Amino acid sequence: MSSEQSLVDKLKALEAEALDRVNEATEPEALEAVRVTFLGRKDGRISSILRHLGGLDPEERPRVGAEANRVKARLQEAIEGRGTTLAASDAGRDALGGEEDRTLPARPRWPGGRHPVTQVIDELWEIFRGLGFTRVRGPEAETEWYNFEALNTPLDHPAADEQDTLYLTGGHLLRSHTSPVQVRTLEAYDPPIRVLAPGMVYRRDTYDATHAPAFAQLEGLVVDEGVTFVDLKATLAEFARRYWGPGTRIRFRPSFFPFTEPSAEVDVKRVFTNEAGQEEETDWLEIMGAGMVDPAVLDAAGIDSERYTGFAFGMGPGRIGMLKYGISDIRAFFENDIRFLEQFADR
């Protein structure tokens, strides 16, 4: 056996011995003694072997040196790892008055789950799917035509002002509502149309308890021959009963939106049973805007407004969630506080 191979074998034997002693160490002092014995600069056993390098041929030295460096790095890593384990064990014993209690339960895992607003969107979708609606989507970066002009909103309208809309370059913008999906759907399909369009929208709103610059919205559209305001009221009344309960009442208040005529704000009054078993009513709560699709919108999308009529409605799932769960500040949906979000995780 060459001198080179002999030194390499000795280094491997020292490595195995040192690793055994590292694993056997139960106190930091014992671990330090292992480090000094094997890695000490003056009297360390690896250093002693390296003193024989001078007796090797020049071409044999690199292999022995490389093996020595490998063994040193391996032992240093093992010593540091064992030290971390011992330190953690000591901390646990100190916290328990010097004794380790192995009967303590493990730390609970945080369960994953859908965001509460996503859950509301899914619940609303299931109701409207049962009423014959199909789910559609559209781009979040829109043109002025789809976001305003095709919806009967001229560009000099206050809603198109830069104070309210987030403009991009090249005549594009971040959509301020999901209504552009109405126009894209009308362009792509012939009536009858019955669709629901959920998605994110963006506005220059102040971030406070009831407003956010980016939030979810859900848009509904129905177009067919002979559609009337009665159909709109019946659809939304049925939705409210399915979502909040059979005793829910609904009312319409006159309003104005450029893309619907006539237009209305929709309120609900919920009926619930209190802890004493008595029925109580809430105040009227506004949940959405709605109305009959303006003929100008149908014409802009290439639909014959003399033949077809339709209705549309839009609501904010975030605000619906606030009503459902009794949340007073919409910012709770955006702050990623695990203490808040874990209440809605599936158990």
Query: How many other CB atoms are found less than 10 A from the CB of residue 63?
Result: 14
Taking the C-alpha atoms of residue 133 and residue 198, their distance in angstroms, rounded to an integer, is 12
Contact status, residue 252 vs residue 266, Cβ threshold 8 Å:
yes
End-to-end CA distance of the chain: 66
Q: Is the pLDDT of residue 102 over 80?
A: no
User: What local confidence, expressed as pLDDT, does residue 98 receive?
Assistant: 53
CA distance 294 to 312: 10
What mean pLDDT comes out for the span 201-226? 91
292 bridge partner residues: 311
What is the pLDDT, as a whole number, of residue 346?
Answer: 66
Q: Hey, is 61 helix, strand or coil?
A: helix
Question: For 21-30, 166-175, 283-292, which range has the lowest pLDDT when averaged over its residues?
Answer: 21-30
Domain-by-domain residue ranges, the chain?
A: 3-95, 116-344
Domain 116-344: CATH superfamily, name plus number: Bira Bifunctional Protein; Domain 2 (3.30.930.10)
The backbone torsions φ and ψ at residue 67, rounded to the nearest 5 degrees and listed phi first, read -65, -40
Between residues 104 and 265, the one the model is more confident about: 265
This prediction's pTM: 0.65
Q: Which residue has the higher pLDDT, 77 or 106?
A: 77
**152 Rama sector, left if φ>0, alpha if ψ -120 to 50, beta otherwise:** left
Cα 211 to the chain's mean position, in Å?
19
**Residue 218, Cβ density class (10 Å: 0-12 exposed, 13-18 middle, ≥19 buried):** buried
* C-alpha to C-alpha distance for 201 and 215, rounded to whole angstroms: 6
Q: What is the pLDDT of residue 264?
A: 96
Banded pLDDT at 186 (limits 50, 70, 90): very high
Alpha-carbon distance 61 to 51, whole Å? Answer: 11
The pLDDT of residue 94 is: 55
Task: Report CA torsion sign: 129, 133, 136, 142.
Answer: negative
Is residue 154 over pLDDT 70? yes
Instruction: Provide the pLDDT confidence category of residue 183 given band limits of 50, 70 and 90.
Output: very high
Judge whether 301 and 83 are in contact, CB under 8 Å.
Answer: no
pLDDT of residue 25: 84
List pLDDT tens digits, range 87-97: 776 655 555 45
Mean pLDDT of all residues belonging to the chain: 85
Q: How far is the C-alpha of 52 from the C-alpha of 65, rounded, in Å? A: 11
